[in-house]
Amino acid sequence: MASFPPRRKPSRKGSMADVPKDLLEQIKELERLFTVDQAKLKEVTDHFVTELEKGLSVEGGSIPMNPTWVMGYPDGYETGTFLALDMGGTNLRVCEVILPEEKGEFEIIQSKYRMPEELKTGDSEELWEYIADCLQQFIEYHHEVEDLEQMDTKLPLGFTFSFPATQEFIDNGILQRWTKGFDIAGVEGQDVAPLFEAAIEKRKLPIKLGALINDTTGTLIASHYTDDTMQIGCIFGTGCNAAYMENCGSVPKIAHYNLPPDMPMAINCEYGAFDNEHVVLPRTPYDVVIDEDSPRPGQQSFEKMIAGLYLGELFRLALLDLHDNKCKIFENQDIGSLRKAYSLDASFLSFIEEDPFENLSETAELFSKELGIKANKPELELCRRLAELIGTRAARLSACGVAAICKKKNIQSCHVGADGSVFNKYPHFKARGAQALREILDWPKGKPDPIDIRAAEDGSGVGAALIAALTIKRVKAGNLAGIRNTEGMI
């Protein structure tokens, strides 16, 4: 009997041999539009450093650089039981985090509760009542107490409120604007902490709000807790952001607090707003359309070029332009589905980039099933290349923010904790970002990367609990800067 060699794994080298000349010319034009070379990466990074510094100044800039009043890292020896509340766009997550005596260890139990759609545009009081109900259910279930008022001590809580907020204290947060589909009247411009605390008090729940945080700050703190070489926390998901530890003396806009210059303060950059002035980012015509058609034109310029929310839309706009104005791809086909704004998300591009077959059969099936388009082989090759270009540009530009923080702080070597759907799930995002860092910072070849972006710890759960623990630790030490209400913390 004849024996056959082991079957080869499907390979995907990418062949342009059968692509007609007009499509090849369009592919070259797309490459010109979306490729960010080393010189441009360095130019973007240098401007980024300037804008980070401007955000810390009294005058401010496009990047908010919000002081968080998280003053220092955990040392790994924090102990106790803490609650964490994570309020996102889809779910409400309640966690109980136990910090044992072992350095850098934690135990976590958690429950998720669906955020009802009607609450997102309903009444403010109804929202906080629902959140309090979920907390009550969680405590009653996990602590098996019939009368919550009989619990000996209040559980400190870290509240991850992932909406743009200004903080004058660690336990307050003035909502700047709702995002993620929320639009509840009368809350923007208000401090959300008293609204939350009133609902807690109404039910006599044994909870003390210790800190209100952003998920990116939580990512920084949680990651440093388990790996003390972590110096930056990042989110690359639906949006993008970073947090790092700054010296108070390097933040002119908080000079009036007269804090010790060498005291650390975590800064929540909110750097999706980088280059709102359109000075340096290599925007394509498709980026311009996304910005102009967005609810807030001229804002979040950096985010609109690299975040998961926009990658599918960039891809859709480019294909539409090719069909309508350039080379007539998908000729004589109904492309009605492709004309719907935001009908494609980042997972569509991920799927194309992960297609392992030379004939792109899985991509063809995707177009047929999702868009009702029967694409031929050359069209599939173009779509594959376009997805690669958009995904690669996002990863390379994302490295500029990390490199800028490292240059500003003169960080030569560290780990960077990253979270978010794009970082965790988009193919090759980590490798492409790492390559861009090498190009920006001119690292020698053949040696390990001194700055390594790796998966972060749970920022909105463990991070929130740790920040509540750090706040209590500060109160005990008499460092009350940026803490509004210390009652019940000791």
Q: Report the Cα 136 to chain-centroid distance in Å.
A: 29
Nearest to 173 by CA among 125, 214, 225: 214
Say if strands 451-455 and 414-419 run parallel, antiparallel, or are unpaired.
Answer: parallel
- CA–chain centroid gap for 318, Å, is 25
Question: Of 221, 276, 262, nearest to 82 (Cα)?
Answer: 221
Which is catalytic among the residues 86, 171, 191, 215? 215
- Catalytic one among 177, 296, 339, 454? 177
Q: How many CB atoms lie within 10 A of CB 470?
A: 24
Q: Is 177 a catalytic residue?
A: yes
Q: Which of 264, 239, 271, 223 is nearest to 452 (CA)?
A: 223
Residues 463/219, Cβ–Cβ less than 8 Å: yes
The CA radius of gyration of the chain, in Å to the nearest whole number, is 25
Q: Which of 62, 162, 301, 350 is catalytic?
A: 162
Is 449 catalytic? The answer is no
Residue among 355, 272, 357, 353 nearest 315 (CA): 353
Active site (annotated) includes residue 162: yes
d(CA 398, CA 41): 10
Given a contact cutoff of 8 angstroms between Cβ atoms, the answer to whether 207 and 200 are in contact is yes
Q: Which residues are catalytic?
A: 162, 177, 215
